[in-house]
Structure 1
Amino acid sequence: MALTTSTASEITPEQIGALVVQPVMNGSVAAQVGTVVNISSTDYRVPLVTADPAAAWVAEAGTINASDATFDELVVTPSKVAGLSIISRELADDSSPSAQQVVGDGLARDIARKIDAAFFDADGVTTNGPSGIESVAADMAVANYAASGPANLDWAAEALSDSEQAGGSLSYFVTDPATALTIAKIKAATGSNEPLLSDRGRSVLGVPLLVSSAVTAGTIYGIDSRFVQIVVRDNTRLEVDRSAYFATDQVGVKATMRVGFAFTHPGALVKITASA
């Protein structure tokens, strides 16, 4: 089906998913390390248990004292992220699947970059966007590597332990490209040319290591996917318009998504940086 003004209204949710939603989720590192949750409402509410009920040893036939859990609630309102591609009329009128794929891929890459930029923002705050992982940094566990850079994997062992002590189990490490290269160049022994990380899967102590240019240089995050949710509202739109670019015989193709982040147990996440 050609992506033209006459057919824009006929683009089905399934086609939008194939052209925009799925490629965005596949291209976003944040979506890979978190658990994607699709919602149809304006807000996403997550009940949080801030204190467990108390249990105790009780004598046979003894009285069991009542104890209540303490609850709180995390409310996430997905924010709008949009991508716009300007393409030729000829491409817009091309009904071949490859033409539609080109348009969808470009929009998906742009939106995926914006999602990761918000998720890993150094201040945790993105104008008009959702609060990223740094917004809960004060509640995260902290691990360090040497000031001169990662020279071994002690930082990873420390991060795994810190998360486990908080009831977590790290699913991923994520860092910036330069730090990932430094880690990859760690040798198995002094004087050896054999890299310590010899597997092609790029994992650290059995935990996959992902790379994003959106991560602040020198920072490594340890993430338990159970406690990081990527909230996607199901009103993603793909729209085509010729009027704005009439004079140049071009077509605007716009995609909009609404995305938010929920960090339900920050204490099980770990931020790893160079020691002071």
Structure 2
Amino acid sequence: MVETTTANPELLREQVSSLLIQPLEAASVVLAAGPRIFDTAEPLRIPKLISSSDPAWVGEGELIPEHDVDFDEVRLMPTNRKSVKTLIRFTNELLRQSVIGLDSVLKDRLVSDVARKLDTAFLVGDGADNTVTGIVNQPGVQKAVLDAAEPDSLLDALALASAAEVTPNRWFISGADFYSVRKLKDSSGKYILESDITQGTTYRLFGVPVTVTNKLPAGKAVLANMAEVAVARDTAPTVKILDQRYAEYDEQAIRVTARFDLGLLRPEGVVVLDAASAGA
């Protein structure tokens, strides 16, 4: 018998990937910035070194000194981690009469809704009630002062990263602060925020790409090496067509569920800038 979505309202994994996961990686500013993504449906433990050995110069035939190293781990996707879920209802009349393909419209809506929710959690989530703890609230991150009218505050953040032997590859800045920084000029009258014509409408600040997002409040920014940011993604997100639940209304619905988590492999690889720190 031919398998159809009527007989199997739970979409196949390949369909879910093309409908939700792949577009989501492009729509989410955090996922698009290149964190390390781990696909897992179970609790994930990522080992990391917190101390290293001290290699020595050793001559021929001499004893090689032993060294102890300490390990720690980043724990992601606990069993009680909540999921991102959404449900969209639509009438059968709309399905039949749509001039533009309804499936395309719903796909864009689903991706947009989930991306907004995830980016808020990834950046500023407080971890309450078994939700995701965002980058700015992760323990161990470096702290700096943000002064959107003073370029030196941005250079100070880069200096912190350099002192920790971190090569940052992404700024996250709120829209309000971005345009304040956009006005800054160097001593020769040149804007310090450079447009990168090789990457479309993108900008670089002191050589580091800039992502503008309204998920960060004004007065808050992040400088990060995204290779130090780990995102756990449940391997089994679901997109289910509910064709009977709202039958008495002659409606259908699409339900989406997905689980994500975030942690830092090396917290000092992230610098959180805060304007409130200026008066502290």
- Common fold, TM-score beyond 0.5? yes
Deviates more, 1:80-89 or 1:196-205: 196-205
Structure 2 residue aligned with 1:58: 58
> Displacement, 1:72?
1.4
Structure 2 residue aligned with 1:99: 102
In the aligned structure 2, how far is the partner of 1:134 from the partner of 1:91?
42
> Displacement, 1:166?
1.4
Structure 2 residue aligned with 1:108: 111
In the aligned structure 2, how far is the partner of 1:103 from the partner of 1:140?
38
Cα separation, partners in 2 of 1:186 and 1:24, compared to 1, 3 Å: same
Number of residue-to-residue matches in the alignment? 266
In the aligned structure 2, how far is the partner of 1:7 from the partner of 1:91?
22
In the aligned structure 2, how far is the partner of 1:16 from the partner of 1:83?
14
Pair 1:19-2:15 in alignment: no
SS of residue matched to 1:8: coil
Residues 4, 92 of structure 1: 8 Å contact kept: no
Residues 166, 269 of structure 2: 8 Å contact kept: yes
Structure 2 residue aligned with 1:133: 135
In the aligned structure 1, how far is the partner of 2:69 from the partner of 2:242?
53
> Displacement, 1:161?
2.2
Structure 2 residue aligned with 1:169: 167
Letter in 2 for 1:100: D
Q: Give per-residue Cα distances to partners, 1:181-205, cap 9 Å, x unaligned.
A: 1111223459x6x644242522101
Residues 41, 236 of structure 2: 8 Å contact kept: no
In the aligned structure 2, how far is the partner of 1:36 from the partner of 1:85?
30
Cα separation, partners in 2 of 1:80 and 1:94, compared to 1, 3 Å: farther
Q: What is the Cα-based RMSD across aligned positions, in Å? A: 2.6
SS of residue matched to 2:246: helix
Letter in 1 for 2:172: V
SS of residue matched to 1:37: strand
Pair 1:158-2:156 in alignment: yes
Structure 2 residue aligned with 1:144: 145
> Displacement, 1:34?
4.2
After TM superposition, the runs of 4+ consecutive aligned structure 1 residues lying more than 4 A away are 3-7, 91-97
Percentage identity across aligned positions? 24
Structure 2 residue aligned with 1:185: 183
In the aligned structure 2, how far is the partner of 1:42 from the partner of 1:88?
37
Letter in 2 for 1:266: P
SS of residue matched to 2:185: coil
Letter in 2 for 1:17: S
Aligned ranges 1:1-276 → 2 under 5 Å: 5-6=6-7, 8-9=9-10, 11-77=11-77, 79-92=82-95, 98-121=101-124, 124-137=126-139, 139-146=140-147, 150-188=148-186, 195-199=191-195, 200-274=201-275, 275-276=278-279
Cα separation, partners in 2 of 1:50 and 1:152, compared to 1, 3 Å: same
- What are the ranges of 5 or more consecutive residues in structure 2 without an aligned counterpart? 196-200
